[in-house]
Chain A
Amino acid sequence: MNNEPKLPAHPIFTPATIGALVALACISSAILGATHYLVQDTLERRGQEHIRALTLEMLPDAVTHKVFTAHLPSYGDTTIPQPIYAGYDASGTLVGVAIEASDRGGYGGEIRVIYGYLPEEQRITGVKILRENETPDIGGRIRTDPDFLARFDGLDMPLEPRSMRPRHPVRYVAPETNGGPGEIEGLSGATVSARAVVRAVRVSTNRVLPVVHDMLDDLKKGDE
């Protein structure tokens, strides 16, 4: 069993080496293609169930959901797609939308949240943390502290009539300052993480809510 590779005597680009790699790559692609074909329905269903559960959690009155895509204006004529999860009640009337948002300024990197929004009442139903990597018991309290996320529950978000942007954008204020409209008190000892959550919601509401109101007719009709 002498397996010492003698590289100088073994040129790399030979029909044997190229053939072996090409054959392996073909077999591997075939196997992966077959696997993907077998699991794609399950994965699709998992994703749908996940979104459905989230939407219904953010919009307690909703019983069904549909996924729309909002096109957020970007530089020039380009747009950025943003999924909008619309929730409907039993009679098929639009209840509200759930929107994912994220901010990369958490203490442990990205914080991802989802919030529910009721277009008729111009109100946020609440915010839920989807993913955070903050220090447990410190920044992690944004998820576990019962008071912090409750500050978003039923938060009024009136929009300016013409620009349809929030009149009082969500703003971070220091803990125990009893802020005015749109102001969210932080969490003592978890400033960086709490700020990141507030920023995620502010950036998203400023950019997405005008587009949501633009496409409100489509959302109400329920045509995807």
Chain B
Amino acid sequence: MSTQENTPRTLDVFLRGLWEENPVFVMLLGMCPVLAVTNKVINCFAMGVSATFVLVMSSLIVSLLRNYIPKQVRIASYIVIIATFVTIVDYAIQAISLDLYDSLGAFIQLIVVNCIILGRAEAFASRNTPPKAVLDAIGMGIGFTFALLCLGVVREALGNGTLLMDTPWEISLFGPRFAPWSVMILPPGGFFVLGLQILFFNWLRKKLQRRKTAAEQA
């Protein structure tokens, strides 16, 4: 995927993660946290920021060390590097808010084995220079956060009638007479919303592609 073109342009490296190769909607990676934590917007935000931080830092280190890590032990080394940053994030979230830490549960620790991060380390950071690896990581991280928020906004709005619940900025969307659609905050709601959004984004991508080809032919 990324190695087909040996020297992708810098801006493309960044934008790819946002749209063309969005980790959630296109590559379908990291589905576990995507389905598990997206029942509240604040959880999505915290998860997205944490994963982006770990992604950027570990991509940088993996890329810096790419000529020193022997090939045979590269995956083990990547996991040690990723786990170090995950533990730092874990401490940070505990220090910021115990409630947030409680509601994210084990999913912060599970970033260690998140396939987006391991996948970018193996497929991109270990084969490219540090600046490019960091750009790619930022793109992928923002793409991941964007996808989480897409799901979280819909699920929390329908499932609880609010946005940003459990934060000081909570907004009630439909007034007090709204009967929450509880299935949306339960796991099945995650699958429904994810499926519909993948459908929507695929349709949008095809449409833009067609328009682009039409414009090129004209």
Contacts and interface: CB of A to CB of B under 8 A. Distances in A.
Interface of A: 1, 3, 5, 7, 10-12, 14, 16-17, 20-21, 24-25, 28, 31-32, 35-36, 39, 42-43, 46-47, 50, 131, 135-137
Interface stretch (B48-56, B77-85, B191-199): B77-85
A27 to B, nearest CB: 8
Interface residues of B, number: 29
A21 B73 contact: yes
B70 A137 contact: no
Contacts of B77: 20-21, 24
Interface in B95-121: 95, 98, 102
Interface string B58-85: 0000000000111111001100110110
B3 interface: yes
A32 to B, nearest CB: 6
Given A43-B94, A135-B182, A28 B84 contact: yes
A20 B87 contact: no
Nearest to B39: A136
A25 to B, nearest CB: 6
Contacts of A36: 91
A33 to B, nearest CB: 11
Contacts of B81: 24, 28
Interface of B: 3, 6, 68-73, 76-77, 80-81, 83-84, 87-88, 91-92, 94-95, 98, 102, 126-127, 159, 180, 182, 185-186
Nearest to B97: A46
Nearest to A29: B84
Contacts of B3: 1
A2 to B, nearest CB: 10
A135 B72 contact: no
Contacts of B69: 20
Contacts of A137: 180, 182
A14 B84 CA distance: 24
A104 B98 CA distance: 22
Contact of A10 (B71, B76, B80, B185): B71
